[in-house]
């Protein structure tokens, strides 16, 4: 599996800059994927990430992308509207606890301090990132993405 996927909160400054630069929707109501093929939203954004998770997800994503977008996006919107209650039910039924994203912090760019405790980074406390590393990484990634768009 290739480690090339990075996540950026849509509501962050970097997220808004990237969305505007690519002509993508800037509201937080949908998932957006910006890749070498352009901007993808809703179900397409999610399903195009499946190959990065390896087999069997590659096959699942490829197959699901064959379903017409209007049907996929309708299902995506229904899930999106109810994701909090769905996740709460899944956690209750499966006995899962809260999600911790601390181990994946290096894959999230554009985070702005202080982080909301509900984002899953740390034990309900803010996790500091050295400013120089954060700024350099954010700037470098943003510059590469914007340069790729110009090309």
pLDDT at 101: 73
Domain ranges of the chain: 13-150
Report the DSSP pairing between strands 32-35 and 38-41: antiparallel
pLDDT at 70: 97
The DSSP H or E segment spanning 89 is helix 69-94
- Average pLDDT on 1-30 reads 86
pLDDT digits (tens, 9 = 90+) for 37-86: 999 999 999 999 999 888 999 999 999 999 999 999 999 999 989 988 88
Q: What percent of the chain has a predicted confidence (pLDDT) above 90? A: 38
146 closest CA partner among 52, 34, 65: 34
User: How many helices (DSSP H) and strands (DSSP E) are in the chain?
Assistant: 5, 2
Q: What SS3 class is residue 56?
A: coil
Measured CA to CA, the distance from residue 56 to residue 80 in angstroms comes to 24
Q: What SS3 class is residue 107?
A: helix
């Amino acid at each position: 599996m290739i480690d090339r996927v990075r996540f950026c909160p849509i509501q962050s400054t970097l997220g808004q800059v990237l969305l505007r630069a690519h002509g993508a929707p800037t509201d937080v109501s949908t998932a957006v994927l910006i890749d070498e093929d352009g901007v993808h939203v809703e179900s397409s954004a999610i399903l195009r990430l499946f190959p990065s998770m390896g087999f069997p997800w590659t096959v699942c994503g490829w197959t699901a992308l064959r379903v017409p977008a209007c049907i996929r996006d309708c299902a995506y919107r229904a899930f999106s509207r109810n994701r909090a209650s769905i996740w709460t039910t899944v956690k209750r039924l499966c006995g899962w606890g809260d999600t911790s994203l601390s181990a994946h912090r290096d894959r999230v760019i554009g985070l702005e301090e202080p982080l909301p405790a509900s984002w899953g980074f740390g034990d309900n406390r803010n996790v500091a990132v050295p400013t120089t590393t954060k700024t350099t990484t954010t700037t470098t990634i943003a510059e590469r993405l914007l340069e790729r768009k110009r090309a």
